[in-house]
Amino acid sequence: MNQASHHVVVVGAGFGGLEFTRALAGAPVRITMIDKRNHHLFQPLLYQVATTALATSEIAWPVRHLLRKRKDVTTLLANVVGVDRAGKRVLLEDGSAVAYDTLLLATGARHAYFGHDEWEPFAPGLKTLEDATTIRRRILLAFEQAERETDPAKRQALLTIAIVGGGPTGVELAGTIVELAHDTLRGEFRNIDTRQTRVVLIEASDRILANFAPKLSDYATKALERLGVTIELGRAVTRCDAEGVVFGDKHLSAGTILWAAGVAASPAAEWLGAAADRAGMVLVEPDLSVPGSPEIFVVGDAAHVLRPDGRPVPGVAPAAKQQGRHVAATLKARLAGDTSPRPFRYRHDGDLATIGKRAAVIDFGWIKLTGWAAWWLWGIAHIYFLIGFRNRLAVSLSWLWIYATGQRSARLITQGDDDKG
């Protein structure tokens, strides 16, 4: 192996791919970073863009800017469509290819509609900036349309927002949307009272925040209900369309439906022709490499990784970053001549979810927090992980302003006409 010419290709500039690239600083390699978008996205705060609390530029950064000082890294804006394992090439949409010696796939996840992809036009998910601005537009347009609607039943449907999925994203959306309607928009319309907005959170299991301790789920349920959120448990969604949503034997007329119920992996397993789980995640080796191709690694939401107790590693940013660092250390060891097995060990730092602007739940295992103190700790943790002083300052000031006044400054309807249905 000629170390000086060892070429590493990274597909995906998310948490895993970026952390891997950073950890390889100083290694005797040259790196090509490929992503179909030109920015790194801080996904944990994406819902705040969707609900008008933050602007897009406050949670996303150009990849080229982040890597500008790394002369060993070349950044390509391109769409990957396949991997030639035998020829060790990444195939691009324009017909070109990029050769690699080591390949890292950190391609994330996409929405999963449990075999009902026809629901997507009516119930957008939340994975990209485009998703966030689409959701923001639909929510704000629903209020604008309700202002002009004279039929009481149609007006109430426009003022009803259904959220499918009671995990952290669904809970965070529900809490902040009801505050947007009840506090921020109050008094801005003449023909409607935005406090009549109904937010319904639909969860197929018997409790929301199923990954949290039961007492934290109970706290979150009560906190959302105090805000005015209606929670429907134990009934799976069976239909989404322009009229609303059906769950169990109940039909809910809703002008806006948001999907937070499930995710599927990117097409990485299809590109590789590799074995995958039901969500499409690649079944990787203990060191995160692909069976039969030790030079290919998969991390983050695209990889099926198990903890020692048999539970899957969660699809959260800290896990992807840990995996990126692990693969970088493995590659460095290999370049130094050490090919001994290096199984990945996940360290769980805890679960966090916020409920509106004054409450949150935090589960660190050894300690569990709720309420105001948890909200502040949640905010500090998220600000800490943002990139750059400017963004930390901007987000902090936005949150303090919302906390003090209830007002949100990013209430912009963009992207033109809504094309739902």
Q: What CATH architecture is 6-111+263-336?
A: 3-Layer(bba) Sandwich (3.50)
270 catalytic, yes or no?
Answer: no
Beta carbons of 154 and 78 less than 8 angstroms apart: no
Please give the torsion angle defined by the CA atoms of residues 162, 167, 172 and 174, in that order, rounded to the nearest 10 degrees: 20
Neighbours of 257 (CB within 10 A): 25
> At 382, which helix (H) or strand (E)?
helix 371-385
pLDDT in tens, 272-329: 999 999 999 999 999 999 999 999 999 999 999 998 888 899 999 999 999 999 999 9
Going from N- to C-terminal start, the domains of the chain cover 6-111+263-336, 117-261
pLDDT in tens, 116-143: 999 999 999 999 999 999 999 999 999 9
pLDDT in tens, 391-408: 888 898 888 888 778 788
Q: Give CA–CA dist 25/70, Å, rounded.
A: 8
Q: Give CA–CA dist 276/284, Å, rounded.
A: 9
Residues ≥6 apart with Cβ < 8 Å to 205: 166, 233, 234
Q: Do the two domains 6-111+263-336 and 117-261 of this chain adopt the same fold?
A: yes
Residue 16, judged by CB atoms within 10 A of its CB (0-12, 13-18, 19+), counts as buried
Catalytic residue among 172, 179, 203, 232: 172
For the 117-261 domain, the top CATH level (class) is alpha beta
Name which of 275, 261, 264 is nearest 124 in CA terms. 261
With 90 as the cut, is the pLDDT of residue 389 above it? no
pLDDT in tens, 43-102: 999 999 999 999 999 999 999 999 999 999 999 999 999 999 999 999 999 999 999 999
Q: For residue 314, give the DSSP letter.
A: P
What are the tokens at 204? 């197929």
Q: Give CA–CA dist 197/145, Å, rounded.
A: 13
- E runs forming strands in 54-144: 60-62, 73-77, 80-84, 89-92, 97-99, 102-105, 109-111
Pairing of strands 30-35, 7-11: parallel
With 50 as the cut, is the pLDDT of residue 17 above it? yes
Q: What is the pTM of this model?
A: 0.93
Beta carbons of 310 and 318 less than 8 angstroms apart: no
